[in-house]
Amino acid sequence: MKLLPFNNHLTKGKTCENFACNYLKKNGLKLIDKNFHSRYGEIDLIMQHHNMVVFIEVRYRKNQNYGGAKASITPAKQQKIQKTALYYMQKKGHELNARFDVIAMTGESDNLAIEWIKNAF
């Protein structure tokens, strides 16, 4: 997969999130919300897949050093995402099933590997 070059770390995050969002839309998910913030943390993408709300963490790493993109989602990060998701569900009144997915991207902008991990945690 090819991704546009990054100008700085802020545009890198937005570019990766937009890329992941488009990738998931092509795979049948519908965008509900982006960059949802609460006092507990942030969720990059909130999408719907059939009758399920899917909370998605997007991670990018240039290489596999230090474990790569997947390894960067620590138990503490998972807990923040789960608390934020619970807050979101309560605030929005969702009673649908939910799951937590990860989009892990590794590589340079001209040679990007993408991995979609469903039910990641």
CA-nearest of 40, 42, 51 to 14 is 42
The pLDDT score that the predictor gives to residue 94 is: 67
Query: Bigger pLDDT: 11 or 48?
Result: 48
Give DSSP secondary structure letters for 31-52: EEEEEEE-SS-EEEEEEEETTE
- CATH numbers and ranges of domains, the chain: 9-117 (3.40.1350.10)
Region of poorest pLDDT, from 35-44, 47-56, 105-114: 105-114
pLDDT at 95 over 80: no
Strands 111-117 and 97-108: antiparallel
CA distances, 120 to each of 8, 16, 19 (Å): 28, 19, 19
Q: Find the mean pLDDT for residues 30-43.
A: 96
CA distances, 25 to each of 19, 38, 80 (Å): 10, 25, 25
pLDDT at 96 over 80: no
Query: Bigger pLDDT: 41 or 96?
Result: 41
> What's the number of CA atoms in the CB half-sphere (13 Å) around residue 95?
0
The pLDDT score that the predictor gives to residue 99 is: 96
Task: Specify which residues 99 forms β-bridges with.
Answer: 54
